Amino acid sequence: MIKDTGKSELVYQGRRAQRADSRQRRKAILEATLRLIVREGIRGVRHRAVAKEAEVPLAATTYYFKDLNDLISDAFTYFAEQSLADTRQLEEDSFAAARRMDRSELASGPGRKLIVQQLTRFILSHIRNQASDRENRLVELAFRNEAVRNPQLTKTVRLSGDASVELIREFFDLLQIADSGAAAQIVYGTIMNLEYQILSGAVEIESPVLERTVTMMLKGLVPAVATTTETESSF
CATH architecture of 2-69: Orthogonal Bundle (1.10)
The span from the CA of 168 to the CA of 164, in Å, is 7
Residue 227 dihedral angles phi and psi, to the nearest 5°: -70, 165
| pLDDT at site 225 | 66
Handedness of CA 220, 101, 126, 141 (dihedral sign): negative
Domains 2-69 and 80-233 share a fold: yes
If phi > 0 it is left, if psi is from -120 to 50 it is alpha, else beta; for residue 41 that is left
Distances (CA, A) of 131 to 34, 128, 203: 17, 5, 11
* pLDDT tens digits, one per residue of 166-183: 989 998 998 889 899 999
For residue 18, the SS3 value is coil
The one-digit pLDDT tens for each residue of the chain (235 residues) are 333 344 456 678 888 877 888 889 999 999 999 999 999 999 999 999 999 999 999 999 999 998 999 999 999 999 988 877 777 777 788 888 888 888 888 778 888 888 899 999 999 999 999 999 999 999 999 999 999 988 888 988 898 889 889 989 998 998 889 899 999 999 999 999 999 999 999 999 999 999 999 999 999 999 876 654 444 444 3
Number of Cβ atoms within 10 Å of the Cβ of 39: 11
Q: Show contacts of 191-194: CB within 8 Å, 24+ apart.
A: 191/123, 191/126, 191/127, 191/130, 194/127, 194/131
* pLDDT tens digits, one per residue of 51-81: 999 999 999 999 999 899 999 999 999 998 8
- Do residues 159 and 4 lie in contact, with contact meaning Cβ atoms separated by under 8 Å? no
| pLDDT at site 6 | 43
CATH top class, domain 80-233: mainly alpha
| pLDDT at site 4 | 39
135 CA to centre of own chain:
15
- pTM score, two decimals? 0.79
Residue ranges per structural domain of the chain: 2-69, 80-233
CA dihedral (92, 93, 97, 100) in degrees, to 10, reads 50
